[in-house]
Structure 1
Amino acid sequence: MYDFITKFNIKGDVLEVGGGCGVLGLLIKRDFPEINLTIIEKQKIMSELIVKNLKVNNLKADIVNDDFLKFGFDKKFDYIISNPPFYKGTLKSENEIIKIARYEEFLPMKDFFKKVNALLKERGEFIFCYDVKRIDDIISNIPKPLKITDLRFMYPRIGKNASLVLIRAKRHAKSMINVHPPLIGFEGENYSNEAYEIYKKANTKSVKI
């Protein structure tokens, strides 16, 4: 997602929906320092981690600890970005934090897209990822005047089915869809050259707290 978003000229007011611990939004803020970043995250513990990560990395953003579908925003956005909870099914983690972060029932697709559309400025853009098996639902649920302009499919390995789709949609777009070259995660036991360069560009590290 981070690499896909950086392909576009991100500017102005940017909202990340479902920030987790803040990795995606903070990377975008680091690379595009002029943006005005807002991150909404419904889980209090994750919101607190975003605040810590902002401080450690000397970055600034407005943090909202609330439910995206219920919160009343006082402005609209040029860009909305998200790695949303998109898994469906019955096998779920007993960990409540993980369940909320991963499963669509906590942010239903149709309601999610509708609210995003309402919060975008007239020429606003929506950049997100989703389970590739839901591509038909994604296309049918994208509300007008949002139109998909870019797709990129991610494959875990050569010879495997795609697992993830990266999507850019824009209000009132007239261009045809640009299908980007596939992104391959691994070649043999190692990251593909492109995946390696993406991780290198991100330059992140995890710490125990």
Structure 2
Amino acid sequence: MNKYKTFKFKQFEIGQEKCAMKIGTDGMLLGAWADLSGCNTMLDIGTGSGLISLMCAQRYSELKIIGIDIDLGASEQAEENFKNSPWKERLSVKHIDFSELTLDTKVDAVVSNPPFFKDSYKANTDERTKARHSDHLTLESLFHSSAKILNKGGKLILIYPFDQVEDIYNVASENSFYIAKHCEVAHNIKKPVKRVLLEFCYQNLNDENIVSKLYLKENNSNDFSEQYIALTNKFHPFL
């Protein structure tokens, strides 16, 4: 399939030709995993095509969502995808840097699949570099800015490479966030953990069961695991 073509999910479609970063597993995981129970408002940082916002709008029928992106093309793409969705009344987008964002009221949740590459080669376009690299949205900036716009009972939900988890925990602590959920993602049980899904809040839950594991594929085949199917089958047209 042409990577620039419209991608059809079960309840919505996404165009992505204007986006530097295309639809990928990280966004699918975060959009399906984020627990927004009890939330009325959500901010999607680095919304790109709007995938995560659309998934969350499908999952939570009362949720109002604002997507923001520093890249103009991505912002325009998300706006088009939102307008073409069944939930256009609950979705909006802003072309803005997160550090410059101001809102009339605080939000219940911040969700982000942020740019997190630090030491790899820069991309061949400025748009793709912004979408991939943390130069434009550091961990410190992400947590600091989130703290300013979240309600006291709010939550910050992220996906990051697993090798950055220690840094993430340190920055979270510096900004008075506590870990609520920690899900380690690997290709299968035989492969090392590559990603981690994280939920932070302002209250120390002291819960010993916050850590879980998620495997994308079965151990001895390339078939999707029962875990991944259960998580994403409301979206993928082929599951």
Alignment TM-score > 0.5, same fold: yes
User: 1:154 matched to which residue of 2?
Assistant: 185
Q: Which amino acid aligns with 1:25?
A: S
Asked if residue 96 in structure 1 is aligned to residue 122 in structure 2, the reply is no
Q: Flag structure 1 segments of 5+ consecutive residues without an equivalent.
A: none
Which of 34, 39, 42 is the matching residue for 1:5? Answer: 34
What SS does the aligned partner of 2:233 have? Answer: helix
The number of residues matched between the two structures is: 204
Return the alpha-carbon distance in structure 1 between the equivalents of residues 156 and 206 of structure 2.
15
CA RMSD of aligned residues (A): 1.8
Q: Which residue of 1 aligns with 2:84?
A: 56
Q: Which amino acid aligns with 1:58?
A: P
Aligned counterpart in structure 2 of residue 197 of structure 1, from 195, 208, 230: 230
> Are 2:99 and 1:69 equivalent residues in the alignment?
yes
4+ residue segments displaced more than 4 Å: none
Mapped to 1, the partners of 2:38 and 2:72 lie a distance apart of 28
Length-normalised TM-score, structure 2: 0.79
Q: How far 1:196 sits from its partner (Å)?
A: 2.8
Once the two structures are TM-superposed, the CA of residue 101 in structure 1 deviates from its matched residue by 1.2
1:186 is aligned to 217
Per the alignment, in what secondary structure is the counterpart of residue 125 of structure 1? Answer: strand
TM-score normalised by L of structure 1 = 0.90
Identity score, percent: 22
Whole-angstrom distance in 2 between the partners of 1:144 and 1:101: 24
| Ranges in structure 2 where 5+ consecutive residues have no aligned partner | 1-29
CA distance in 2, matches of 1:146, 1:56: 36
Give the residue type in structure 2 aligned to 1:16. D
State whether structure 2 residue 191 is matched by structure 1 residue 129.
Answer: no
Among residues 192, 199, 204, which one is paired with 1:168 in the alignment?
Answer: 199
Q: Equivalent residue for 1:25? A: 53
Q: Are the structure 2 counterparts of residues 40 and 97 from structure 1 closer, same or farther at C-alpha, using a change threshold of 3 Å?
A: same
